[in-house]
A = this chain, B = another copy of it.
Amino acid sequence: MNDEFFMRRALELARRGVGRVNPNPPVGAVVVKNGEILGEGWHERYGGPHAERIAIEKARGKDLRGATLYVTLEPCDHYGKTPPCTDLIIESGITRVVVAMEDPNPLSGNGIKKLRDHGIAVEVGVLREEAAKLCEIFITYVKYRRPFVALKFASTIDGKISDFRGNSKWITDHYRLKSHELRNKYMAIMVGANTVMTDDPLLTCRLEGGRSPRRVILDGRGKLAGGGWRVFSDDVDVYVFTASDAVYPDNVKVFRGEWDVDGVLAKLYEEGIDSVLVEGGASVLSQFLNVADVVHVFFSTRVLGKGLSAFENVEYSLDNAPRFRVERIEHVENEVYMELRPCSRE
C-alpha cells in the first residue's frame, strides 16, 4: 500500500463535500498506521470541522505515534470558523503528513512549515493534479479574487439552443441529471431576465441531498419588477443586477448601477460567492464567454434548422475565435456531453 493508494481514498472522501462547503474547498483526510486506516473524514459543510479533525477524532484512543496523515490540501494554521488543524496534528503524535497540494490562498499557507518546525515529516505533491482539479473553484476564488465561471448550454448538432419559435424545453434524463449535478457543484447560478420571463424556471437542484445554488439574475432594464416569478418565491438567496429603479420582492438583494461582466464578478466575490454557473440565455452566455473557466455543452442529436445559437450576440472571425480543448467527453444514448476548457488561459 503506497501513498497514492491512501491519497486516492482521501480524494474520494473529499468529493463528498462538493457543493456543501463553498466557498471552502472540499478536503478529505485519512489516518494510517502500519497500512491500516485508523480514521478518515471529509469537510462536510461550510463552518463545520475540517477533514483532518474528523479523521483524527475517529482515531481517538489509538496510539498515533508512527502514524501518517493523508490530506488533500495543506492543513490550515489559522483560526477561522475552527481552530488550526496544525495544532491538532502536532498534539496527536502523528509523525508523518502527506499533502496533495499546498494551500493556494496567498493569505494562509503556513501549515506545512509549522508541521515541519515541529519535527513532523511532510511530503507534498502526491496526486497533486487530481487534488488541484477538485479544488479548482477554490483556487480561482482565492488566487484571482473572483468566482470560478462555468458556462452551460444544451444545443442540437446544428448549434441551436431553441427552435424558431423560441422553444427550448427538450431536456432528457441524462441531461437533467448532469445538469443538476452542476447546480449542486457551483455556488450560484446566473440567468438573464429573458430566460426568467420565457421559462419561469425554478433553478433549483433536484438531486436527492443536493443543494440549490444561489440565484444571480441580470435584469438590466428591470423587466422582472414586482416579482411573481418562481425564482423569487422560495428561500434561496437571490441577487439581482439592474440599471433600473425597479422594485423587487423583499427577499431579493438588489445591486443597482451599470454593470459589466467584471463588475458583476467583483460584486459576487465580495458576496463570498466562489463560483457561478451561467445557464443562459444567449445574451448572457455571449457576455460571459470570454471569462469562462469551463464550458459544459450537452448535444442532443437533433437538427432544428433556423433558431437561436448559444453565442449569437458576439461575432468572431476565424482568426480570433476563442478556442477550447476537450477535457472530457461522454456519450450516453443520443446525448453527447463535452467539458471544454479555454485554450487561451493555459
A305 → chain B, closest Cβ, in Å? 4
Q: How many identical subunits does the complex contain?
A: 2
Contact of A324 among B164, B167, B334 (CB under 8 A): B334
| Segment of A13-21, A150-158, A223-231 engaged in the interface with chain B | A150-158
Kindly list chain B residues whose C-beta atoms are within 8 Å of the C-beta of A333. Answer: 325
| Segment of A53-61, A106-114, A257-265, A313-321 engaged in the interface with chain B | A313-321
Are A321 and B304 in contact, CB atoms less than 8 angstroms apart? Answer: yes
Are A313 and B318 in contact, CB atoms less than 8 angstroms apart? Answer: no
A322-334 vs B, CB cutoff 8 Å, 1 = contact: the mask equals 1111100101011
Q: In whole angstroms, what is the CA distance A303 to B320 when docked? A: 10
Q: In whole angstroms, what is the CA distance A323 to B74 when docked? A: 50
Contact of A304 among B163, B313, B316 (CB under 8 A): B316
Are A315 and B306 in contact, CB atoms less than 8 angstroms apart? Answer: yes
Kindly list chain B residues whose C-beta atoms are within 8 Å of the C-beta of A165. Answer: 317
Are B340 and A336 in contact, CB atoms less than 8 angstroms apart? Answer: no
Are B311 and A303 in contact, CB atoms less than 8 angstroms apart? Answer: yes
Are B301 and A305 in contact, CB atoms less than 8 angstroms apart? Answer: no
Contact of A167 among B317, B325, B329 (CB under 8 A): B317
Supposing A167-B317, A303-B289, A318-B169 touch, asked if A158 and B311 sit within 8 A by C-beta, the answer is yes
Are A306 and B312 in contact, CB atoms less than 8 angstroms apart? Answer: yes
A293 → chain B, closest Cβ, in Å? 15
Let me know if A25 is at the binding interface, CB within 8 A.
no
7 pairs, A vs B, C-beta closer than 8 Å: A157-B297, A301-B325, A301-B326, A303-B314, A303-B322, A309-B309, A336-B338
